[in-house]
Amino acid sequence: MAASTLPQSLPATRVQRGWNFGPGPAMLPDTVVKRAQEALWCFEDTGMGIAEISHRSRRFLELALKLETGVRTLLEIPDSHDVLFIPGGATPHFSLIPLNLALARGTRRATYAITGHWSRLAHREARTLIDATIAIDADHDSDTRAIPELAHWSIDPEAAFLYYTDNESINGVEYPAPPAVRTPPLVSDMTANLFSRPVPIDRFDLIFAGAQKNLGITGLGIVIVRKERLHKAIAGWPSILSYGDWADSRSMHNTPPTLNWYFALLMVEWMEEQGGLPALATRNARKASILYQTIDQSGGFYRNTVSPECRSRMNVPFKLSTPQLTELFLREASQSGLFQLDGHRSVGGCRASIYNAMPEAGIQELCVFMNEFRRHAG
Ligand SMILES: Cc1ncc(COP(=O)(O)O)c(C=O)c1O
């Protein structure tokens, strides 16, 4: 006899879910949450919850294969690149990249483009290990934040890689396209925009991202790395720090965060159902433009100071004129079911994160609220 049986219906939601504009952990599509809810109780016909089955079991290995294949298909990843799933989110790669892509190759040189909080942090971490030069530093709170033209960059041609952050989620700065350099090879933090549009993977030696924006839940990192950049073992180093070792173990160096992998698979399947990355890219561009229009047409009541060509389609920061007005805005928004609109603690103000899972209806509702708030509080 089975130890327990699946309840006929899952517990009804007591509180209605609002629109969640959080930067990550971020909103998940309703269908993904529902499927995960069921799988936590019983995964398909296994009689066990998804968080309770062995990572070495046939069923989990099938899931792992589906996840990798799905990611490869969505992003059109060529055979030249491996896909790794490494626990710990995005931040470990600030150190693992200089270790694996510079020091392990016998060089201490790499160059960094700084356009905001995350690239500055990555550069700071790299400097503890290697001689990381700065190609550009555009992380200034000036009237307009912009990415300087390539002609103004100072790139070390001998560097092991050129590192940049494709989308600065705190400052709302996104590269319209990867920097058009031939050398050094590109390395990018795409935590906050991977899967939001197609990416020319072949132009990169390495791309990494934390999963908590477009690939499920926090605590998992994905790394897409050119195979010829992998080293099996790096003499004198713990194997857990080696991308080559992670590749050899098929991302099972130790027990993987199985639930995170499952969420990632659910997100991959959801993205496929949405029509893949070209369809999501069109939708994301439209969503962002509706929100920027509301900001730009507010007569200065809401202000976004990022240059239009590099405004993020994923994270839209905006400011109101005083801290008191900002506080009132956030309170009333939250009372209206528009959650987590506060800006990052380092910059204040407001920020709407609008990853793939945020539908246009959520943006429309936010814009109606913003216009209404401006009318009564302005
Ligand atoms: C662009 C970017 N890089 C890195 C990180 C850090 O991610 P994690 O907290 O998973 O280390 C974030 C988190 O929001 C981010 O947006």
- With cut-offs at 50, 70 and 90, classify the pLDDT of residue 357: very high
Q: Is the CB of 169 under 6 A from ligand 1?
A: yes
Q: Is 210 in the pocket of ligand 1 (CB under 6 A)?
A: yes
Q: Are residues 106 and 243 in the same domain?
A: yes
CA atoms of 135 and 150, how far apart (whole Å): 9
Find out whether the beta carbon of 119 lies less than 6 Å from any atom of ligand 1.
no
Domain boundary among 239, 255, 273: 273
What atom in ligand 1 is closest to the CA of residue 218? 10
Q: How far apart are CA 272 and CA 100, in angstroms?
A: 32
Residue 337 and residue 312 in one domain: yes
Residue carrying the six token digits 């499952």: 262
144 and 192 share one domain: yes
Convert the pLDDT of each residue in 206-229 to its tens digit.
999 999 999 999 999 999 999 999
Q: What domain range is 289 assigned to? A: 276-377
**354: in domain:** yes
210 CA closest ligand 1 atom index: 10
> DSSP assignment, residue 300?
T
pLDDT at 188 over 50: yes
Residue 47 per-residue DSSP state: S
Same domain, 86 and 194: yes
- Per DSSP (E only), the strands in 202-262 are 204-210, 220-226
The answer to whether residues 111 and 160 touch, using CB atoms and an 8 Å cutoff, is no
The pLDDT tens digits for 107-139 are 999 999 999 999 999 999 999 999 999 999 999
Question: 104 and 199 share a domain?
Answer: yes
Domain boundary among 273, 307, 323: 273
**Shared-domain flag, residues 159 and 253:** yes
End residue of a domain, out of 273, 307, 330 = 273
Residue recorded with tokens 């009132």: 328
Task: Determine the residue of 169, 222, 223, 316 to mutate for testing ligand 1's pocket, defined as the one with the most ligand atoms within 8 A of the Cβ atom.
Answer: 169
**Which residue's CA is the nearest one to ligand 1's atom 2?**
191
Is residue 39 domain-resident? no
Number of domain units in the chain: 2
Q: How far is the CA of 186 from the centre of ligand 1 (A)?
A: 19
- Tell me the average pLDDT of the chain: 94
Do residues 22 and 339 lie in contact, with contact meaning Cβ atoms separated by under 8 Å?
yes
Amino acid (one-letter) located at 299: G
- Identify how many contiguous H helices and E strands the chain contains and give both numbers: 9, 13
Contact by Cβ (8 Å): 223, 84:
yes
Same domain, 269 and 292: no
Q: Return the pLDDT at 12.
A: 52
pLDDT of residue 329: 98
Cα(272)–Cα(290) distance, integer angstroms: 24
The best mutation among 97, 117, 118, 222 to test binding of ligand 1, ranked by most ligand atoms within 8 Å of the C-beta, falls on: 118
Is the domain of 326 the same as that of 233? no
CA 325 to CA 109: how far, in whole Å? 47
Q: CA–CA separation, 267 vs 71, rounded Å? A: 10
CATH of the domain at 68: 3.40.640.10
Checking if the pLDDT of 285 tops 90, the result is: yes
Q: Is any atom of ligand 1 closer than 6 Å to the C-beta of 91? A: yes
* 6 is a domain residue: no
pLDDT level of residue 1 (50, 70, 90 thresholds): very low
In a domain, 240, yes or no: yes
Q: Is residue 112 part of a domain?
A: yes
Q: Are residues 263 and 365 in the same domain?
A: no
Any idea which residues carry the catalytic annotation?
118, 189, 213
Side-chain-side CA neighbours of 16 within 13 Å: the count stands at: 6
Contact between 221 and 228 under an 8 Å Cβ cutoff? The reply is no
Paired sense of beta strands 220-226 and 81-87, if any? antiparallel
- CATH at 292: 3.90.1150.10
Measured CA distances, 103 to 108, 129, 161, 214, 296 (Å)? 6, 8, 12, 31, 46
For ligand 1, say whether the CB of 373 is within 6 Å of any of its atoms.
Answer: no
**216 in ligand 1 pocket by Cβ < 6 Å?**
no
Ligand 1 atom nearest the C-alpha of 221 is: 10
Domain membership of residue 202 (yes or no) is: yes
Q: Are residues 164 and 240 in the same domain?
A: yes
Phi-psi region of 99 (alpha: psi -120 to 50; beta: other; left: phi over 0): alpha
Residues 158 and 234 in one domain: yes
Q: Is residue 95 part of a domain?
A: yes
pLDDT at 141: 72
Is 3 contained in some domain?
Answer: no
Residue 193: which pLDDT band, with cuts at 50, 70 and 90?
A: very high
Whether residues 57 and 198 share a domain: the answer is: yes
